[in-house]
């Protein structure tokens, strides 16, 4: 492992290729926000868990936010700074280890808090996730405040007489959003829960802040955070973005295996929407492809399709300046956050290799064969 390639054309396909200079650019921006507004930014591992980059990430970020035992272990082993763990529900088998590993543990309900508080209070700083019942996320799949949401405690279900020992409140109600959406959520949070602030040590504003996107209002965020800190100077503030860390830091490189025709030309790739970029089907969204345009804009149009049996394993239809051929390389842009942590080996398909790009060199940090498939089954 850690084979180094000088020449792009020698790289194994398919592969996720993360550019460390782009990652560092994101980290520096996040760090500027931390420094100027005196808040703490954690990396949400659910969105970006490329641990071979953690030596770089930990130069800038305060630690990790974990979704349970395995992410907490990865945070401790590979990142080694603060670990903040939240799960919709912890289980009896894992809770002791989670408490040992975590600086903060956030419970999703009063029943979970009451079940574990005795041991939790001895080991960690405890918090509750609340549901502010305000979110501007329009797709219900990604809206933690959608009707009947299980994520967090609503004002109506908040048991004010059971909060002794609670040091923090947490909300997560954004998805790929700008400061205006945070402003709305914060207003709702303060309206319903600021009565408890005097007894707290920290608040956590969750993730979904699309801070590293070009049109994000960074100065607006700094102002908002400073104002909040001025109002409640005793509270430490945490943000836990995942996507914003890995945003536009690299791509998924794939190759054309075959070209078939059925009214349209269809290029079958050595990757899969279903297995390697599931958000293109779940969100759904149309991935950008380097050098390609919408169908029929350029001279040669192809449906790009995955190499599994799923009929809907279709990336989208694109057009190119020159015809694709077997062996042509396709670059699917911005496939580092969320994609890598969600991959599957459906159909026994090979997982993409992981490559880090640094100073015009490509370092292969992991590649996957038959064992990656077999070891998940028995």
Ligand X SMILES: Cc1ncc(COP(=O)(O)O)c(C=O)c1O
The binding site for ligand X (CB under 6 A) comprises 44, 46-47, 65, 86, 172, 175, 206-208, 240-244
Nearer to ligand X, 44 or 351 (CB): 44
The minimum distance between CB 312 and ligand X, in angstroms, equals 24
293-294 and 300-305 beta bridge pairing: unpaired
The minimum distance between CB 1 and ligand X, in angstroms, equals 28
| Cα distances (angstroms) measured from residue 258 to each of 296, 310, 316 | 20, 17, 16
The minimum distance between CB 10 and ligand X, in angstroms, equals 33
- 118 Cβ partners below 8 Å, 6+ apart? none
The minimum distance between CB 14 and ligand X, in angstroms, equals 23
Nearer to ligand X, 14 or 242 (CB): 242
Q: Which residue has the CB atom at the shortest distance from ligand X?
A: 207
Nearer to ligand X, 46 or 350 (CB): 46
The minimum distance between CB 129 and ligand X, in angstroms, equals 7
Q: Cα angle vertex 33, ends 186, 78, to 5°?
A: 100
The minimum distance between CB 44 and ligand X, in angstroms, equals 4
* Strand residues in the chain grouped as ranges (E): 4-5, 15-19, 40-44, 63-66, 82-86, 104-107, 125-129, 166-170, 202-204, 236-239, 250-262, 264-269, 293-294, 300-305, 314-320, 329-333, 353-358, 361-366
Nearer to ligand X, 46 or 357 (CB): 46
| Cα distances (angstroms) measured from residue 47 to each of 51, 155, 254, 259 | 12, 28, 22, 33
DSSP state of 75: I
Nearer to ligand X, 208 or 278 (CB): 208
* Helix, strand, or coil (residue 341): helix
Nearer to ligand X, 144 or 306 (CB): 144
């Amino acid at each position: 492992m850690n084979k180094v390639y000088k020449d792009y054309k020698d790289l194994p396909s398919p592969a996720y290729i993360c550019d460390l200079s782009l990652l560092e650019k994101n980290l520096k921006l996040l760090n500027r926000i931390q420094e100027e507004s005196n808040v703490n930014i954690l990396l949400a591992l659910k969105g970006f868990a490329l641990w071979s980059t953690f030596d770089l990430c930990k130069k800038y970020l305060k630690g990790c936010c974990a979704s349970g035992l395995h992410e907490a272990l990865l945070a401790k082993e590979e990142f080694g700074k603060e670990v903040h763990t939240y799960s919709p529900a912890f289980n009896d088998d894992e809770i002791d280890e989670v408490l040992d590993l975590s600086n903060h543990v956030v419970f999703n309900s009063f029943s979970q808090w009451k079940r574990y508080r005795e041991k939790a209070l001895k080991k960690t700083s405890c918090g509750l996730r609340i549901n502010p019942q305000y979110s501007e996320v329009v797709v219900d799949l990604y809206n933690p405040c959608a009707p009947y949401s299980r994520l967090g405690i609503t004002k109506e279900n908040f048991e004010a007489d059971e909060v002794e020992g609670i040091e923090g409140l947490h909300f997560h109600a954004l998805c790929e959003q700008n400061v205006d959406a945070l402003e709305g959520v914060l207003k709702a949070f303060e309206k319903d829960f600021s009565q408890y602030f005097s007894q707290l040590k920290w608040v956590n504003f969750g993730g979904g802040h699309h801070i590293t996107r070009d049109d994000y209002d960074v100065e607006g965020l700094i102002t908002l955070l400073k104002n909040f800190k001025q109002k409640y100077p005793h509270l430490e503030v945490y943000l836990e973005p995942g996507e914003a860390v890995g945003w536009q830091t690299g791509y998924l490189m794939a190759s054309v295996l075959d070209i078939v025709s059925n009214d349209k030309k269809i290029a079958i790739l050595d990757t899969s929407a279903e297995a390697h970029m599931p958000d293109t089907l779940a969100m759904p969204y149309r991935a950008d492809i380097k050098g390609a345009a919408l169908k029929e804009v350029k001279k040669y149009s192809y449906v790009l399709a995955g190499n599994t049996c799923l009929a809907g394993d279709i990336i989208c239809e694109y057009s190119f300046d020159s015809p694709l051929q077997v062996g042509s390389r396709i670059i699917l842009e911005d496939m580092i956050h969320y994609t890598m942590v969600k991959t599957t080996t459906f159909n026994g398909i090979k997982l993409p290799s992981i490559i880090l790009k640094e100073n015009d060199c490509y370092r292969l940090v992991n590649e996957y064969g038959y064992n990656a498939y077999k070891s998940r089954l028995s």
